[in-house]
Every structure is written in structure tokens, then in C-alpha cells.
Amino acid sequence: MSTNRTFTMIKPDAVENGHIGGILDKITSAGFKIVAMKYTQLSRRDAQAFYAIHKERPFFGELVDFMTRGPIVSAILEKDNAVEDFRALIGATNPADAAEGTIRKLFATSIAENAVHGSDSDENAAIEGAFHFAGREIF
């Protein structure tokens, strides 16, 4: 995967609250091209593996419950400087700290249910994209 790609999920809270369209509009309006996308639901095993880095955190069980409770939209996005620019677009992890106009400020409700995921590095973007998509699903 090129270094100009990042990985995102529209999380179950945002799907439940009817924000798929609003969030995709913010993403494409900011210049990101969608190169892979699916509507899916994580199993507990998927979520435990995806968030393995957080397994010692006190909120790990809550995080797995949340991320598996309903469907998500997962996607790979392409743009110059994709990882950094996407993290700016989504805003701080806690929506209370997120800047005006960011996706989390607009659509998230709490630090746990924060509407979207964005990869934190090029390396993790590649790992996370490959976790969710087969090569033939990426354009």
C-alpha cells in the first residue's frame, strides 16, 4: 500500500445515529478518494485482534463490546499526506476536545463512542487496511 493511504472505520455509534452519509461527505469533500469500502460487522475475535495494542487498557472490554454491537463501514482512503490529514479531519479522540468542524466534534458523543477510527501511522494504515480488505478489494 502506498504511504498516501489511511484506514478508517465509521463506528457502530455513528452508523446507529444515521451519520454514514454525513461522514462520507466530510471525507470526500476534504479530498480523500475511497479506494476500498465495505459495510460489515466485526466479530469479537476481529475486534480483539484489531485492538490488541489496547488489550491491557481498562477500557478494552468496553471497546470490544462497543465495536461489535452493530455494523460499521470500513474504508481505505487515498490523498497526499493521508494519515496526518485524516487525523486532523477527525479531531481529538475525545469529542469534547475536538476542534470545531471536525468529524468527531460533529458526530461523536463520547471518548468511547467517538464515531470514527483513523490510522495513526503509515505502517499501521497498511496493517489495518490489510486486516479488513483482500488485495482484490482495493482499487
By CB under 6 A, residue 106 contacts ligand CMP: no
**Dihedrals φ, ψ of 89, to 5°?**
-65, -35
Tell me whether residue 45 or residue 139 sits nearer to ligand CMP (CB atom).
Answer: 45
Q: How many CB atoms lie within 10 A of CB 38?
A: 12
The CA distance from 105 to 128, in Å, is 24
How far is Cα 137 from Cα 134, in angstroms, rounded to an integer?
A: 5
C-beta of 53 vs 139, nearer to ligand CMP: 53
- Residue closest to 66 by CA, chosen among 128, 13, 116, 16: 13
Q: For residues 43 and 110, which CB has a smaller minimum distance to ligand CMP in the complex? A: 110
Residue 63 binds ligand CMP, judged by CB under 6 A:
yes
* Angstrom distances, CA of residue 109 to CA of 27, 36, 37, 88: 19, 27, 24, 18
Assess whether 117 carries a catalytic annotation. Answer: yes
**Counting contacts by CB under 6 A, is residue 117 touching ligand CMP?**
yes
114 binds ligand CMP (CB under 6 A): yes
**Backbone dihedral angles phi then psi of residue 94, each to the nearest 5 degrees:** -90, 115
List 19, 54, 117, 132, catalytic entry? 117
Q: Taking contact as CB under 6 A, which single stretch among the options 25-33, 58-66, 79-87, 96-104 is the one that binds ligand CMP?
A: 58-66
Which residues sit at the interface with ligand CMP, rule CB under 6 A?
A: 54, 59, 62-63, 93, 111-112, 114, 117
Catalytic residues: 117
| Binding-site annotation: residue ranges for ATP | 11, 59, 87, 93, 104, 114
